[in-house]
């Protein structure tokens, strides 16, 4: 079961991933291709070439968890980017899993002084 209120980092592996990979294969991919620590507790999100399957790998205290979602109709709005890894926020992951394009959402504005 996915953590409901996740406050760590979320990383997307841009491009397509071979969905025959399970926990061992995906954790090696995180460590070697993404250059990240699979034991960090962060979420690592992967998608297949057809954009119909998403897998999320994370370390949960004493073991890996692998979350899997397959769409029967339609496709995920997976980002195209020259980067190998994209960091996103939890709300963006929710939008992605709901079938929305999180890349076209308004960017957060921040101000330091009112004039």
Q: Is 96 helix (H, G, I), strand (E, B) or coil?
A: helix
Nearest to residue 60, comparing CAs of 44, 76, 75? 44
39 CB-near residues (< 8 Å, 6+ apart): 59
pLDDT tens digit sequence for 11-21: 999 999 999 99
- Its pTM stands at 0.86
pLDDT tens digit sequence for 65-112: 999 999 999 999 998 888 889 999 998 999 999 888 887 766 777 778
Three-state SS sequence of 25-67: HHHHHHHHCCCCCCCCCCEEEEECCCCCEEEEEEECCCCEEEE
Delimit the domains of the chain by residue range. Answer: 10-103
The upper half-sphere exposure of residue 100, i.e. CA atoms within 13 Å in the direction of its Cβ, equals 10
Tokens 């992967």: give the residue: 46
């Amino acid at each position: 079961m996915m953590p409901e209120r996740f406050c760590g980092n979320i990383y997307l592996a841009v491009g397509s991933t071979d969905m025959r990979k399970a926990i061992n294969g995906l954790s090696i991919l995180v460590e070697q291709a993404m250059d990240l620590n699979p034991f960090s507790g962060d979420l690592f999100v992967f998608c297949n070439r057809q954009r119909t399957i998403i897998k999320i790998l994370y370390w949960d205290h004493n073991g890996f968890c692998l979350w899997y979602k397959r769409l029967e109709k339609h496709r995920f709005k997976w980002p195209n980017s020259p980067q190998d890894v994209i960091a996103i926020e939890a709300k963006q992951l929710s939008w992605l899993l709901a079938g929305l394009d999180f890349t076209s959402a308004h960017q957060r504005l921040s101000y330091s002084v009112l004039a």
